[in-house]
Amino acid sequence: MRFGIAIAALAVALTLGACSKPTTTTTATTSTTVTTSANAPASFTIGAVADTETNIQGCSSSFSRQGDRASEVFVENGADTDGFGFIRINNTLIRVELVSGNENEKGGTRTFADKGHTVSIVETVTTTASHPDTDSVEAAGTLAVTFGGSTQTLQVEGGTAC
């Protein structure tokens, strides 16, 4: 009799699972929002990128999590064409290329992706201060990083210096 009950319980569990719709879960911390589909792999970690790892010549833009300027999470060359940048995901440094951009002196949006399009980054920032004497600007906004079916949106601050 117990065997029959176990089979019936298994059939009910399978039926309920087959009818369940995938859900989206969003969790927020002070500077990161993570959105993951119920069927997506586990979240990923975004780590610090050291200036010495990027070998960017000339102007560069760098962004840290808001309130933590000690470690940069995204560094890019700030170029309007042939732009590229670096991000560390799951302890691996990944180079991304500029896919599109729409910006002006007040800020803008730039989209980056790696060659295999497994990583995409949407950088949306607003200029918060301009320093013509040092050829630099400060900026704040968000980085929406998508990897493995999950997206993390980080509140960031940083800027561009030449």
Please give the pLDDT value at position 52.
Answer: 86
Which helix (DSSP H) or strand (DSSP E) does residue 156 occupy?
strand 150-161
Please give the pLDDT value at position 140.
Answer: 98
Query: Rounded to a whole number, what is the distance in angstroms from the first to the last CA of the chain?
Result: 77
Distance CA 116, CA 93 (A): 14
From the list 137, 113, 109, 135, the residue with the least C-alpha distance to 123 is 109
Residues spanned by the domain of 90: 23-161
Asked whether residue 113 is domain-assigned, the answer is yes
Asked whether residue 18 is domain-assigned, the answer is no
Please give the pLDDT value at position 35.
Answer: 46
Asked whether residue 130 is domain-assigned, the answer is yes
Please give the pLDDT value at position 51.
Answer: 80
Beta bridge partners of residue 154, listed in sequence order: 32, 143
Number of domains the chain is built from? 1
From the list 95, 73, 71, 93, the residue with the least C-alpha distance to 85 is 95
pLDDT, block means (10 residues), the chain with 162 residues: 34 33 38 47 85 88 94 93 95 97 91 96 97 95 96 96 92
Q: What is the pLDDT of residues 88-132, one digit of tens each?
A: 999 999 999 999 999 888 999 999 999 999 999 999 999 999 999
The DSSP secondary-structure symbol of 10 reads H
Asked whether residue 5 is domain-assigned, the answer is no
pTM: 0.74
